[in-house]
Amino acid sequence: MSQHQGRHFLQIPGPSPVPDRVLRAMDMPVIDHRSSAFAELAKAVFHGCQQIFKTAGPVIIFPSSGTGAWEAAIVNTLSPGDKVLMVETGHFATLWRQMAARWGIEVDFMPGDWRHGASPAEIEAKLKQDTAHTIKAVMVVHNETSTGVTSRVGDIRAAMDRAAHPALLLVDTISSLGSVDYRHDEWKVDVTVSCSQKGFMLPPGLGFNAISDKARAAAKTNKMPRSYWDWEEMLKPNAAGFFPYTPATNLLYGLREAIAMLLEEGLENVFARHKRLAAATRAAVTHWGLEVLCQEPAEYSPVLTAVLMPPGHDADAFRKVTLENYNMSLGSGLSKLAGKVFRIGHLGECNELTLLGALTGVEMGLSLAGVPHRAGGVAAAMSLLEERTHSNASAQLRVISS
């Protein structure tokens, strides 16, 4: 592999690039995690997380990966032998199912084609059939990182309400929180699972559970063994700004700064930026003559775009050519999509110029790897971004002149 100058383009859908501002915030001496200075830091991030999750309830922060936060959601709310409803939306929904099964949970896994999100209508029908209320939870991946498909959690909650079913709602927002509109309280989600290395723009190492009163009540009566993941053991010291064990102190410094960045931009502006960059990416893919994996426009992910390779061409071979020649990492296809798709991440600290640089690398990589395509995808993306910039500028001028 040749030596490259300049920054590596990390265009996978997480971990996302860590902004310089966040890196500087973490560049601090380790402090006493039993001190008043630490308590001030912890209380600030607890409050900030509530703003990002859009909840008035507690957000628990574990020193863990997102997988750990998955496990915490399961062991605090469910008991061995409980039945849950899940939907096969992709690789990560499948992994969450496997974890639940290891804990002795019975999973009704609704089959899917990995090109659509969870169907609110099908979930409603399942719940209406469950007149004995044997289903204890509905578990959904909000943004399926393996496919670039976003399920409509608000519609799923409405479907659950129409079915008048008491099941808990557990949602994985690992790749969506801080990048895609999400409303824990408004959508009456009972446990929202997330982590640090996607929309929060941090290195891996923090897992999150936002929890409802209903979920906390379930945790006080369920029969699952737990220790490290126990919510109540976290919440007791959290109230004073502390943790029951050593926290990831310097990541919390970074988290405080990342939250500040998101709130300074404004969450609605953050969500609009991600939608704009995703639309430009799809414009490029369509112009190239390639196919976006997601088939439902209402479910297009603002976080990433998964692209199907033409028959006879291997996505991993293309990714290798792009990495070796242009110093850019693209996401691979996972499990049943291995070799069939590549994934372009456009989340976190990503703007128009960053995206256009990434799309340029993809277009050059397609050419060098001999993948059939129509040149000019970058120009198509640029045209879309320019149109939206002009529209925004015109709107701002109208506001100023009025």
**332-350 average pLDDT score:** 97
For residue 286, what pLDDT band results from cuts at 50, 70 and 90?
A: very high
Q: Could you read off the pLDDT of 158-175 as tens digits, one per residue?
A: 999 999 999 999 999 999
Distance CA 201, CA 199 (A): 5
9-16+266-401: CATH number: 3.90.1150.10
Sheet holding 168-172, edge to edge: 59-63, 206-211, 191-195, 168-172, 135-141, 83-87, 106-110
> How many Cα atoms occupy the beta-carbon half-sphere of 358 within 13 Å?
29
Angle between helices 120-129 and 153-162 (to 10 degrees): 30
Q: Is the pLDDT of residue 196 over 90?
A: yes
For residue 3, what pLDDT band results from cuts at 50, 70 and 90?
A: confident
Distance of CA 262 to the CA centre of its chain: 15
Q: Is the pLDDT of residue 391 over 90?
A: no
Q: What is the pTM of this model?
A: 0.94
Q: What pLDDT is recorded for position 142?
A: 98
Q: How many CB atoms lie within 10 A of CB 36?
A: 9
Q: Could you read off the pLDDT of 293-331 as tens digits, one per residue?
A: 999 999 999 999 999 999 999 999 999 999 999 999 999
For residue 2, what pLDDT band results from cuts at 50, 70 and 90?
A: low
Q: Is the pLDDT of residue 56 over 80?
A: yes
**What's the whole-number average pLDDT of the chain?**
96
For 38, 39, 236, 251, 254, the CA distances from 247, given in Å and listed in that order, are: 10, 12, 15, 9, 13
3-state secondary structure of 194: strand
3-state secondary structure of 163: coil
Residue pair 214/190 in contact by the 8 Å Cβ criterion = yes
**15-34 average pLDDT score:** 97
For residue 279, what pLDDT band results from cuts at 50, 70 and 90?
A: very high
Question: What proportion of the chain, given as a percentage, has pLDDT over 70?
Answer: 96
Q: What pLDDT is recorded for position 5?
A: 85
Q: What pLDDT is recorded for position 397?
A: 47
Domain topology for 20-263? Aspartate Aminotransferase; domain 2 (3.40.640)
**114-134 average pLDDT score:** 98
SS3 of 70-104: the string is HHHHHHHHCCCCCEEEEECCCHHHHHHHHHHHHCC
Distance CA 288, CA 108 (A): 39
Distance CA 195, CA 174 (A): 5
Q: Consult the annotation and say whether 343 binds a ligand.
A: yes
Distance CA 268, CA 262 (A): 10
Q: What residues form DSSP beta bridges with 61?
A: 208
Q: What pLDDT is recorded for position 96?
A: 97
* Domain boundaries along the sequence of the chain: 9-16+266-401, 20-263
Place of tokens 């209508």: 121
